[in-house]
Amino acid sequence: MTIAATPFAERERLSPGSELARIDEAAARARAVCPERPDVGVVLGSGLGAFADELQGARSLDYRELPHFPVSSVVGHAGRLVAGTLEGVRVVVMQGRVHAYEGWSPTEIVFGTRVLCRLGVRALVLTNAAGCVNPEWSPGDLMRMRDHVNLSNVNPLVGPNDASLGTRFPDLSRIYDPRLAKALEDAAGAVGVPLRAGVYVCLLGPSYETPAEIRFLRTIGGDAVGMSTVPEVIAAAHMGVPVAGISCLTNMAAGILDQPLSHSEVTETADRVRGRFLALLHAFLPRAVAAVSG
**252: amino acid identity, one letter:** M
Please tell me which residue in 26, 27, 181, 227 is annotated as part of the active site: 227
The residues near 206 (Cβ < 8 Å, ≥ 6 apart) are 99, 101, 227
Please tell me which residue in 5, 129, 239, 291 is annotated as part of the active site: 129
Please tell me which residue in 19, 102, 108, 232 is annotated as part of the active site: 102
Per-position b or e across 139-172, b if 16+ CB within 10 A of its CB: bbbbbbbbbbbbbbebebbeeeebeebbeeebee
Please tell me which residue in 251, 252, 270, 291 is annotated as part of the active site: 251
Please tell me which residue in 68, 99, 148, 238 is annotated as part of the active site: 99
Q: Which helix (H) or strand (E) holds 81?
A: strand 80-86
Q: Is 176 annotated in the active site?
A: no
φ, ψ for residue 148, nearest 5 deg = -145, 165
* Beta carbons of 204 and 99 less than 8 angstroms apart: no
Please tell me which residue in 128, 228, 239, 253 is annotated as part of the active site: 228
Please tell me which residue in 5, 30, 77, 254 is annotated as part of the active site: 77
Q: Is 237 annotated in the active site?
A: no
Please tell me which residue in 46, 134, 152, 247 is annotated as part of the active site: 46
Q: Is 63 annotated in the active site?
A: no
Q: Is 228 annotated in the active site?
A: yes
Q: Is 251 annotated in the active site?
A: yes
What distance in Å separates the CA atoms of residue 18 and residue 72, rounded to the nearest whole number?
Answer: 23
Q: 135: helix, coil or strand?
A: coil
Q: Is 101 annotated in the active site?
A: yes
Q: Which helix (H) or strand (E) holds 201?
A: strand 195-202
Active centre residues (catalytic): 46, 77, 99, 101-102, 129, 227-228, 251, 263
